């Protein structure tokens, strides 16, 4: 991969930071004076050269897992399994109470209901389509 820029100033700073401990790209970006995309590209380049590895993944609810990078030639952590939307919905509906299910059914019925308009009102104001 071709080097960009005049001086490689960010990569040595990233190496110094990772020597202190594992960090995410966002944390590296906060400490090194470079754009987050630049930090990510440098990390990817260093990963291709086997200088860094994925230490672990931070999993937060409703957010993609975030890679935590560490210095050295180690084995990358396994990417966590991703749950589909259907699986999340099924689990959510299992936890719902009977009242919540009834409320959900009533909301569905209300959305599919067509509003009847008086013919005289429709003649004066027109029929709203939607």
Residues 12-57: tens digit of each pLDDT: 999 999 999 999 999 999 998 889 999 999 999 999 999 999 999 9
| Euclidean distance between CA atoms 16 and 75, whole angstroms | 21
pLDDT the model gives residue 118: 82
Q: Does any domain span residue 109?
A: no
Query: What CATH number did the domain enclosing 19 receive?
Result: 1.10.10.10
Q: Does any domain span residue 110?
A: no
Q: Does any domain span residue 45?
A: yes
pLDDT-based confidence at 130, cuts 50/70/90?
Answer: low
Q: Does any domain span residue 55?
A: yes
Count of structural domains within the chain: 1
| Euclidean distance between CA atoms 126 and 130, whole angstroms | 13
Q: Does any domain span residue 3?
A: no
| Cβ atoms within 10 Å of 10's Cβ, excluding its own | 19
Q: Does any domain span residue 82?
A: no
Domain that holds residue 59: 10-71
Residue 5 in this model has a pLDDT that exceeds 80: no
DSSP collapsed to 3 states, 69-84: EEECCCCCCCCCCCCC
Q: Does any domain span residue 67?
A: yes
Helix (H) or strand (E) holding 8: none
| Euclidean distance between CA atoms 119 and 126, whole angstroms | 9
| Euclidean distance between CA atoms 17 and 19, whole angstroms | 5
User: Can you list the positions of beta strands (E) in the chain?
Assistant: 52-58, 66-71
In whole numbers, what is the pLDDT of the chain averaged over residues?
Answer: 87
pLDDT the model gives residue 122: 83
User: Helix 10-20 crosses helix 36-48 at what angle (to 10 degrees)?
Assistant: 80
Q: Does any domain span residue 93?
A: no
Residues 58-98: tens digit of each pLDDT: 988 777 889 999 999 889 999 988 788 898 889 988 999 99
């Amino acid at each position: 991969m071709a080097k960009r820029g005049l001086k490689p100033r960010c990569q040595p700073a990233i190496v110094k930071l990772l020597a202190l401990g594992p960090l995410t790209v966002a944390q590296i970006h906060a400490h090194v004076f470079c754009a987050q995309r630049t930090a990510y590209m440098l990390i990817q380049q260093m990963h291709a050269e086997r200088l860094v590895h994925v230490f672990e993944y931070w999993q937060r609810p409703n957010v993609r897992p975030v890679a935590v990078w560490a210095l050295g030639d180690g084995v990358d952590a396994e990417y966590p399994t991703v749950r589909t939307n259907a699986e999340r919905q099924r689990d959510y509906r299992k936890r719902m109470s009977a009242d919540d299910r009834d409320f959900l059914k009533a909301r569905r019925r209300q959305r599919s209901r067509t509003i009847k308009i008086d013919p005289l009102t429709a003649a004066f104001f027109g029929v709203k389509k939607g």
